[in-house]
Structures are given as C-alpha cells and as structure tokens.
Chains A and B, each alone.
Chain A
Amino acid sequence: MNDFGFGPDEVAAIHLSLKVAIWATLASLPPGIAVALALARGRFWGRDLLNGLVHLPLILPPVVTGYALLLLMGRQGWVGKPLASIGIVFAFNWTGAALAAGVMGFPLMVRAIRLSIEAVDTRLEQAAGTLGAPPLWVFATVTLPLMLPGVLAGAVLAFAKALGEFGATITFVSNIPGRTQTLSGAIYAYTQSPGGDAGALRLVAVSVVLSLMALLLSEALARSVSRRIGGVA
C-alpha cells in the first residue's frame, strides 16, 4: 500500500473500514434473514412494532442512533456494562464501529431480503413437503436458494452502507486514528485540518474504488445466481 504514498494512519483506516464493513455485513446476515422471515411470513402480535423498530435507523438522524448505541452498549450502558464484565467491549473499539455500521445497514438488508422471501412461491415449498422433506430441509433446499438474490442484494447494500457510515460511528466510538478511525472518519479529519486536501482526495479515490468493486462483484454474483435459479431474479 505504501507504494501509493499512504501514511500509516491512512493504511490503518483503509484496513479498518474493510474489516468493519465485512464484519458488519456477515454478522447482520443471520439476524437479517431471521427478521425478514418473521416479517414476511410470521403472523404474530407486534409484527408492525418489529417492522418499525427495524426501520428506525433509516429514519432517525445517524447521530441519534449513535447516541442510543452509546447509552445502550457503552461501558456504562444497560447492555454494554454486563457485556464488558465478560470481556466484550464495544465502546471506543473497532467492534463498536462494526456494530454501528451493522445497525445502520440493517433496515436496508432486511428490506431486500424480505422482498425476495415474498417473491418465493410457497407452492414450491408445499411440493417439496409432499416429496418427504421436513420443514427445515425445505427451507435450506428450496426457500433459501430461491431468496438468494435478495440476500445478496441485501448484503451488498449493507456492505456499502457500512463502508460509508459516519454519523453513528463517530458518535458511538469517536474517531481515534489507528483504533476507530474508518475511511469516512479519516477523510473528515483531513477536511478539518489545514492542508489536508491532498490526503482527503487520496482517500476519496480509495473509497470510490472500493465501492465500485463491491458493486461490480455483486452484479456478477447476482447474474450467476439468477442464471442458476432459472433466469428470474
């Protein structure tokens, strides 16, 4: 990386951004699929409430979400304090940045997956059932493959969101170089210091390249998946 003339803090920011975005995406996939399933197929009391809760980070100012995370998951937070006592610390840590990025991307992910679940023909699942497949097996071999394009789309959206997340992250875990400073944080820091334009532009270029690569990869994956399931995405 240093061949491109990046400083050590810049390299750390690029690494951290990728690490945070990958972890945020991977960790939110299982709960994302579960919540999307519950919203698409579930008939339970409080479904609308759950739906509203999931969408909160999309409509609230990011700084509010970040502050809520601080209250909830900080060292003295209701959930953060007991977790800290068993060694899991989110506050001012890269895991906190991943958590904030994951929460901010969660509504986008759930929406995409939910749409794809609603597009799955339940009559195919019935047919698999009459062939002897138990419900969990039907989910793994019919429902999941058929909703895969939506899962991919949701993951890419969440990844892109995580890569660019700024407001909630900086509120929750601050902007500590080498520790919690992501690409967005580093660009922001450059713009706040005199003579930082060159550095900011360098990181902006990196950010554009990373986002474009994620987009192209997802397009290629989506094409191959939809070809596999018969031409309909």
Chain B
Amino acid sequence: MSAPPALDLDVTLRQGAFDLVAQMTAGRGLTVLFGQSGSGKSTLIDLVAGLKRPDRGRIAVNGVPLVDTAAGLWLPPHRRRVGYVFQEARLLPHLTVRQNLLYGRWFARRHVAAEAPTLDSVTDLLGIGPLLARRPTTLSGGEKARVALGRALLAAPRILLMDEPLAALDEARKAEILPYLERLRDHAGLPILYVTHAVAEVARLATTVVMVDQGRVRAVGTPSTLWSRPDLMDLTGGAEAGSLLDAVVGACTDDGLFQLDTPAGRILVPHLPAHLAPGARTRLRIPARDVLLSDRAPQGLSALNILPGIVADVREDADGSRVVRLECVGAPVLARVTRTSADTLGIAPGQPLWAIVKAVALGS
C-alpha cells in the first residue's frame, strides 16, 4: 500500500456571499496555493489549521483525519499538530525569542524524541542564534519571519502551513528568507502548504501548484505545465504572462555568462543568484513580453538565446495583443506580440517559429 498523501482535502464552506468548494491532495515537498486575493486560498489553509470550520467535508494530513463532518469529527487547532506561519509573524510580544521558539515544545514533547528538530538545529538552519535573548519588538521584519518559521518547526508539526510569509517584506528581506525556505523544502521532509500570489515565489519554491480561483480549485500541476496552459492565463499572468522553465545550472562561459540547460535548449544569463552553483536545479521565468518571434532562423542579432519551436496555439488578450505558445522541444515558451506582428507573420498553430530571448531579460 502506498503512503497516504500529505494532505487530502474535500470541503465546502459558505461564508456570506463567498462559496468555497474544494477538493485536492498534496504530496511531499512544497505545494503552492496560488490565486488572487479573495480567491479562497487563505481560507483553505485556515480550514486545515482549524481556524475555520467547513460546512461539510473531510481533511486528513498524512492519513490522520482532522475533520470529517460525516463522522462528526472536528479536532480543535491545538490538537492538529500543524505548524502555521502567519503573514504578520504573530510572535508573542511578552516573551523572548527563545521563549517564543520553545512555546510549542511542551505540547509536542510526546513526539519530540522521534521526529522533531532541536532548538540548536532550528536556530542554525534559520540563522537566529544571536537573537535568542531579544524581544520580538526589537526584531526586523525578516528576523521576525524567521523566528515565526522556527517556532512552527519546533512544535513538531505534521505539515507546515505558510500564509504569504514574504508578502509584508521588501525585496532584500525576501532574498534573506528564500534560501531558508528552499533548504527546508529540500531537507526537512516536511510537507509544506504555501499560500502566495507572487509568481517569483512559485518559480523559486513550488514543487506543485494548486490554482485557486473564486473558491474553486482550477488546476493542479507543476509550475512549468500550469504556466504554459493558455486556459489559465487569466490567473498565471495577464500583463505579466510568462513561462516557467526548469533549468540546471551549467558552467560559466569565458565571457562571464552563465549557462542554464532547460528542456527548450541552452540559455545564457549574465548573472545568477549567489546560492546557485553549477549543477543546481532552478527555475527560470521568461516574461512573454521579453520574447520576440521570427519566422526564419535569425542571424546577425545581438540577442544570445534563440530557441526553435512550433506554434501550439495563439490566444487573444484583453488588450488586443496575442500571446503565442511555442512548443520548444517539449517545453512551452510564451511570447507576447502585437496583433499587427501576428498578422504579418501569419502566426497559426503548427507553424515553425524561432523565439528570441534577450539574455539580459533573464537576469532577475
């Protein structure tokens, strides 16, 4: 018998005019709940945590039922063993960082021996050792976020829930937290349910994405497949539509460019985040507006990255521009072109085209 899914959820909830009907499962790794604000993604993790109660349905984590309305089962939040990292950190202001970190420890003591991380390992992982004696009010936003994460981990949860943990932070603070989240995803073996509406976080963190829209689950899949589906483009992009490509970091070229091997071909970028060494797996986001199309193999261009492909489909956007999906050796690349250009090239499904991606467009 195979292991039960990390999260198995099938619920309905009506809150005023809002109506949530969701059915999903999540495996190991980091599952992103992606959607606009008000789509119901935060409500979903509140249901898992027990902060909201479904009208009907069931929720199980690692095969352990938390809610089953048919059986009359509803575990209160404190008996669910979910680690919840809130957007606003919610550290207890009257306790020190150390006391905050250890707050859930007492209740987790029965599980501690077997599975829980130690205070030392968590402070090492998150780099918060020097903060232990401080009060939460004296911490920066990024430090608060890390302490909140450590506090949740030390409660020995079965699943980690994160509600837009980076939304309140500026770019520098986000860059400070992201490596910790990656390490957690890759090494802790703890399933993570992560709410966000930021594509950059999906690209960097997601193992699986669940698209939530108006209280319904629209689609489930890997980031690269979902971000290439034209029927999801109202959620995945709009003006910032783009494709997500899985990539392996290759060697550095003589002229200081970095090679990224993607299913669509080799792509050169001028710089990489410091944490990516050769051989590392990452994901590359190519905004559709940064891709040019050509109907013959281009020559004499300054652009470095030219990917051949076949037009899979063409979709008209609200502003009249066309979003073209090009299948490049199995990996989809999106390009946004004006209607005039689309007509001039006579773009139609099945047509071979070349996508031209300027190297500088990939740097971020």
Residues of A participating in the B interface, judged by any CB pair closer than 8 Å: 121, 123-124, 126-135, 138, 141-142, 145-146, 228-232
Contacts and interface: CB of A to CB of B under 8 A. Distances in A.
B83 A228 contact: no
B87 to A, nearest CB: 10
Interface of B: 49-51, 76-84, 86, 88, 90, 92-94, 103-104, 106-108, 135-137, 151-152, 155
* 9 closest Cβ pairs, A-B complex: A132-B107, A131-B104, A230-B93, A229-B94, A127-B90, A130-B84, A230-B137, A129-B77, A145-B94
A185 to B, nearest CB: 42
B92 A128 contact: yes
Contacts of A138: 78
B104 to A, nearest CB: 3
B108 A231 contact: no
Nearest to A148: B94
A178 B169 CA distance: 67
A45 B26 CA distance: 44
Contacts of B82: 130
Contact of B107 (A124, A133, A228): A133
Contacts of A131: 78, 83, 103-104, 107, 151-152, 155
A145 B135 CA distance: 15
21 contacts: A123-B88, A124-B90, A124-B92, A124-B93, A126-B90, A127-B84, A127-B90, A128-B92, A129-B77, A130-B49, A130-B155, A131-B78, A132-B78, A132-B107, A132-B155, A133-B104, A135-B78, A142-B92, A228-B94, A230-B94, A230-B137
Contacts of B94: 145-146, 228-230
A121 B88 CA distance: 12
B83 A133 contact: no
A132 B137 contact: no
A227 B49 CA distance: 32
Nearest to A121: B90
Contacts of A142: 92
A135 B50 CA distance: 14
A130 B83 contact: yes
Contacts of B90: 121, 123-124, 126-127
Contact of B78 (A133, A141, A230, A231): A133
B78 A146 contact: no
Contacts of A232: 93
Given A127-B86, A229-B93, A230-B93, A132 B104 contact: yes
B93 A134 contact: no
Contacts of B104: 131-133
